[in-house]
Amino acid sequence: MKINKWKMALLVWSAMFPFSTIISYGLAQFPFIAQWPLIARTFCLTCLLVPYMVCLALPFLTRRFQKWLQHEPHQPHTHPSISEQPVSAQTDEVQSETSHIVRQQYAL
């Protein structure tokens, strides 16, 4: 089943924003780090943020919210659409639906 991109983006943001805020605040408390150029502080932040997201936050959140990520309330779950069926099934279905039309044309 496909994962909704907007839901995954929301999960990523919900894990990344608090952690990056806390780490940025924590790094700013060290006087020597507060004097570093922005690019050095950002590098330090991302060195902590990426492993946290990949190893801890995202695996936990995707397991925890798996059903929500994959749930599509707008799609009925009863019968697959023609586009989801194999081509041979589509062909059989179209032939069965149109065979009576061909018979009616020859009967005229």
For residue 2, give its domain range: 1-72
How many structural domains compose the chain? Answer: 1
- Within-domain flag for 23: yes
- Within-domain flag for 40: yes
Query: Model's pTM, two decimal places?
Result: 0.59
The residue behind tokens 């919210």 is 65
End-to-end CA distance of the chain: 48
Chain segment 16-69, per-residue pLDDT in tens: 999 999 999 998 899 899 899 999 999 999 999 999 999 999 999 999 999 999
Q: What is the overall mean pLDDT for the chain?
A: 81
Residue 57: other Cβ atoms inside 10 A: 19
